[in-house]
Structure 1
Amino acid sequence: MTIEIEDNHIKEAEQIFINGNTFDEKERVPFIKNLETCDLLAVPGSGKTTALIVKLYCLSKQLPYKDGSGILVLAHTNATVDEIEKELKKHCPNLFEYPNFIGTIQSFVNKFLANPANLIKYDSYIVKNDDDIYKKEVANFYYNNLEWKQTGETMQKLKNLLYGKANHNRGNISTKEKNQNTIDFIYYLNFDFINRKILYGGKNTTLYKYEGAAKEHYLEITNWKENLFRNGILSYKDSFSLAKWYLHNFPKVKEQLQHRFKYVFIDEMQDLEEYQIDIIDNVFFDKNSKTIIQRIGDPNQSIYNRVKDECDWKPRNIKYLNGSIRLSAKNAELINCFTYRNEEDKFQVIGERKLLKDEKEILPHLVLFTSETKGQLKSKFEEIIKNHNLHKIEERNKGFRIIGWTGERANEGDGNLCLHTIFGYNKLDKTKKEDFDTLSKYIQLFNKEKQTLEAVRKSILNALIAVLRFEDKKIIKKIRGREVERFYTKSDLIEFIKNYNYEGDYLITYEIFKDKLYNWSFNLVTSKNHKPIFDSIKNFIENQFKDWFDLKLNPKTQLFILEFKEENRIVKKIINEDQLDIEIATVHSVKGQTHCATMYVETAYKTPIYETLKLKEPSKNSTIKKREAKTIPLFKQTHSCETPSGIEALKMMYVGFSRPTHLLCFAVLGENVKDDLEKFKNAGWKIVDDLVTIYSKSQNVKE
């Protein structure tokens, strides 16, 4: 069955998704029509997700396919999945029905592989797939399950061995740090369920295996691990380990998935790790597969978990989108110098944003400041925005952002700058977490992007589930003909309350609980004062909830509900009297966004070295001649970064600098660039040195 993208469907899509404009025939139309296995390397602002959306729209017009197959669309983040759904669902709802699937890599692996694997292997569906919960389980295992070697015993116990392995060559550090290192070591262990091995480190070195002298230690760890699986508790990576086992033992699953999904599209490929890429290739990319796979991304933007010299994605059969609709020519010329890897010189950032009549392209601005004048950076950014009348143009709705690599630092007393020390930034919870360590956080940090009461209701129920977990309360379930104990899920909790008869002075019914839940949810969404709602939920837990489930309210539970603490959250919009909205955010949080104007502020990340200095760092083996010949992308030179921190800075600035359509400002400490100002000017930067000059004058007056 041959399918082709039809021109009339592309025309329809142009009307819907790009306001009746037309896609260029050089890059975008060829990609939209391309239905062969390939990888698309797309520069920032090239409209890659829009091009993918249009391709999906066109393909949906021919659904259902005669062979019963469908389309699989995967992304790394929920944000991208939400964007695709928001744009497409109203125009082609059939794309969101069986046999199609649109979701994250994690949700796909859980639904089709890890969940059935866990049920077959451990008689439980996945209840909690969360790294934070898993890390707490690791800490509990280390502190409460493992024992030290006792005086007089000759053989070291597992706890001693893990402690020694985790702190080998660690130097003079405290016992507290050594314990934390051991917890981290256990947390990052990989489990090979096929070959029955426990692996550690980046090279997956074998720590223990079933067939070996350390079988006892292998069993001690895996018994703990498998007990978590029986209760449906998995880390994100556990899903992939189980999926690998499932595919190995049930190879026909691959054939079924290949038949179901004729087309597979994966966005944000640069953020995927090797084990995620491998599982998708394992399912869909083999010599017998007829599935078409197209992977989309930009290796230069691989900053998600940790910045690597090379991202794990190795592109094949490469196509390109080099034209950036977002970037102006001058900004694109600068950003192109920050590309870390340029595939055979075919990957070029080319600015294609068309200037309006009488519009002049704005030069990138280098804003100098000092530690003493850092507090004036926001007002200076506002001033530059207004000088160019950007606050009056239609594109202002794309927003104005001040961004930095480092939001908060552990050691902020050392004088090195981050967004918190400059602007008072506090990390906003953007991860849409479902589980927290206190009731106070559950009622404040729910996902506020949802326009209904669903998110807060879900968060309250999760808090009640957490209490049952602390109390070790389980439910008897019948799975495949056998009765097994499992922790409560939200649906189990609701079902228990529906069937519960409380006889006393009054009758508590499910309807009354529903009213409580609705009132709590409504008040949390509409009220800024969360303390009374916290007190009401806490009172409910200590009384009715305690009686229903016969709880003891052990120390863990008491600590969980102990006190209300106002979460220190930054208000996203900082509004001045002229209604100029500016958001303070990290580079990671704005990845994928488009702004009207962006100010990138250099900060110190971990080590007290700023981006301008990291780009200049010589490698350890550099000769004097090589150091003198070092080229800096800020001066519109092809970079020569070699050190890990230099490459980190390069990629971070590539992402941050490529956000704005009109104005890019780079705010730097004057002392870091004082010897390079002529080079900046020659490279086309406009120097703004008011904040340094003001400080210098004030110092002279004092003297």
Structure 2
Amino acid sequence: MNLAQLIDPITDGDVEWVTKLMKLEALDEPRRSFLKSMSTLDVSACPGSGKTTLVVAKLAILARHWKSRTQGICVLSHTNAAREEIEHRLGGSEIGQRLLRYPHYIDTIHGFTGRFLASPWLRSKGIPLTAIDDELTHAARRKALKPWEYAGMKRTFESAFIKVESLRLKTVDFDNPLTGWSLKFGSHTDTYINACKAMAHAAKTGHFCFDEVFVLANALLVDEPEVASALRARFPCVLVDEMQDTRYEQANILSKVFPRQDPDVCVIRVGDPNQEIFELEAELPEPFPDQSSTMEIASSFRFNQSIASIANPFAYLPITGGW
């Protein structure tokens, strides 16, 4: 079932209910419109607009009317801010407890990718998932080599201005883990051989760096394309918070699993393009915000209108309605 089949239309009464439940200030029309929306949407919100609190209010309304016991809402971000806000604002309520348990799912984008995509692919290959952690993976790679082998490899890489700690898998061919890298030394050299030995040992014992989960995830989506369809059926409503900080590898997975053009999945992305942490090296598969389906929340609780009006023209992406 899609979102329209899972909940009844959201009313002004629902907005008043959540305002009272969460002890919110009076909500203006853009915020009320966001809470009542039931379709794929990008929300561009200015600094201090209370994005995460508004996201939690939206989730509370959805959970209040949710009909399915096997399909749920998927909430993704870069931190656990949404979960912490639910615990803070709704922790003592039945609605809050409902959001924090099955069938709903709240996690980081990395956590979702590891659990639903990377880990299943590893299990299908008979590889245990020991750790998704940069430091533990580097330690596993060091242990695969004799001390002098590691020291020599490290020196050679550093002479080429590459830190061995920056090596990441670009392939799931663990017998040739440097595939995709352009290096100054050939595959016949001790440096190349030892680097492959170290990376292969870590991978085959289930040690991976954080960003390598996206390589594993893509492998599953290639091998088993029906997995994406199954996840869309499992999560017909997806809400991504702090979308402006989503990197290409993360957005690529999200666009493959939850494409915004799919009428059976509601994808709500919330963020502030003017607070972007990372300078994107590549355009996102589905750029944010999508100007064809964007709602703006233009008022801030952090500073008044006179200050905002001065700052707005200097923003990377000015809010058209002002702040």
TM-score bucket of the superposed structures, by smaller chain = 0.7 to 0.9
Q: Which runs of 5+ in 2 are unaligned?
A: none
Q: How far is the alpha carbon of 1:254 from its aligned partner?
A: 1.1
Which residue matches 1:130?
133
Q: Distance in 2 between matches of 1:332 and 1:286?
A: 32
**Structure 1 contact 109–243 (Cα < 8 Å) conserved:** yes
Paired letter, 2:169: N
Of 103, 111, 114 in structure 1, the residue corresponding to residue 115 of structure 2 is 111
Which residue matches 1:167?
159
Q: How far is the alpha carbon of 1:111 from its aligned partner?
A: 1.5
Q: Provide the secondary structure at the position in 2 that maps to 1:65.
A: coil
Q: Kindly indicate whether residue 65 of structure 2 is the aligned counterpart of residue 62 of structure 1.
A: yes
Which residue matches 2:27?
23
Q: How far is the alpha carbon of 1:296 from its aligned partner?
A: 0.8
**Structure 1 contact 302–311 (Cα < 8 Å) conserved:** no
Aligned length: 309
When residues 286 and 73 of structure 1 are mapped into structure 2, their CA distance, relative to the original with a 3 A threshold, is: closer
When residues 51 and 79 of structure 1 are mapped into structure 2, their CA distance, relative to the original with a 3 A threshold, is: closer
Which residue matches 2:307?
331
When residues 196 and 99 of structure 1 are mapped into structure 2, their CA distance, relative to the original with a 3 A threshold, is: farther
Higher helix share: 2
Question: Normalized against structure 2, the TM-score is what?
Answer: 0.81
Which residue matches 1:267?
241
When residues 270 and 147 of structure 1 are mapped into structure 2, their CA distance, relative to the original with a 3 A threshold, is: closer
Of 29, 33, 36 in structure 1, the residue corresponding to residue 39 of structure 2 is 36
Identity of aligned pairs, percent? Answer: 27
Paired letter, 2:27: F
- For the aligned residue pairs, the C-alpha RMSD in angstroms reads 3.3
When residues 330 and 62 of structure 1 are mapped into structure 2, their CA distance, relative to the original with a 3 A threshold, is: same
Q: Provide the secondary structure at the position in 2 that maps to 1:325.
A: coil
**Structure 2 contact 140–201 (Cα < 8 Å) conserved:** no
- Equivalent residues in 2 for 1:528-607, closer than 5 Å: none
When residues 315 and 196 of structure 1 are mapped into structure 2, their CA distance, relative to the original with a 3 A threshold, is: farther
- Equivalent residues in 2 for 1:268-307, closer than 5 Å: 268-285=242-259, 290-303=264-277, 306-307=278-279
**Structure 2 contact 141–198 (Cα < 8 Å) conserved:** no
Paired letter, 1:42: A
Which residue matches 1:237?
211
Of 45, 49, 60 in structure 2, the residue corresponding to residue 46 of structure 1 is 49
- Equivalent residues in 2 for 1:660-679, closer than 5 Å: none
Which residue matches 1:252?
226
Higher strand share: 1
Which residue matches 2:89?
87
Q: Kindly indicate whether residue 168 of structure 2 is the aligned counterpart of residue 189 of structure 1.
A: yes
Q: How far is the alpha carbon of 1:295 from its aligned partner?
A: 0.9
- Equivalent residues in 2 for 1:126-165, closer than 5 Å: 126-138=129-141, 144=147, 146=149, 159=153
When residues 291 and 333 of structure 1 are mapped into structure 2, their CA distance, relative to the original with a 3 A threshold, is: same
Of 72, 90, 100 in structure 1, the residue corresponding to residue 104 of structure 2 is 100
Question: Normalized against structure 1, the TM-score is what?
Answer: 0.40
Q: Provide the secondary structure at the position in 2 that maps to 1:323.
A: coil
Paired letter, 1:191: K
Q: Which runs of 5+ in 1 are unaligned?
A: 150-158, 171-180, 351-703
Q: Distance in 1 between matches of 2:222 and 2:56?
A: 34
Paired letter, 2:20: Q
Q: Distance in 2 between matches of 1:206 and 1:309?
A: 17
**Structure 2 contact 243–288 (Cα < 8 Å) conserved:** no
Q: How far is the alpha carbon of 1:132 from its aligned partner?
A: 2.5
When residues 218 and 119 of structure 1 are mapped into structure 2, their CA distance, relative to the original with a 3 A threshold, is: farther
Q: How far is the alpha carbon of 1:11 from its aligned partner?
A: 0.8
Which residue matches 1:207?
182
When residues 147 and 294 of structure 1 are mapped into structure 2, their CA distance, relative to the original with a 3 A threshold, is: closer
Q: How far is the alpha carbon of 1:34 from its aligned partner?
A: 1.4
* Larger relative contact order, structure 1 or 2 (CA cutoff 8 Å, min sep 6): 2
Q: Distance in 1 between matches of 2:62 and 2:176?
A: 44
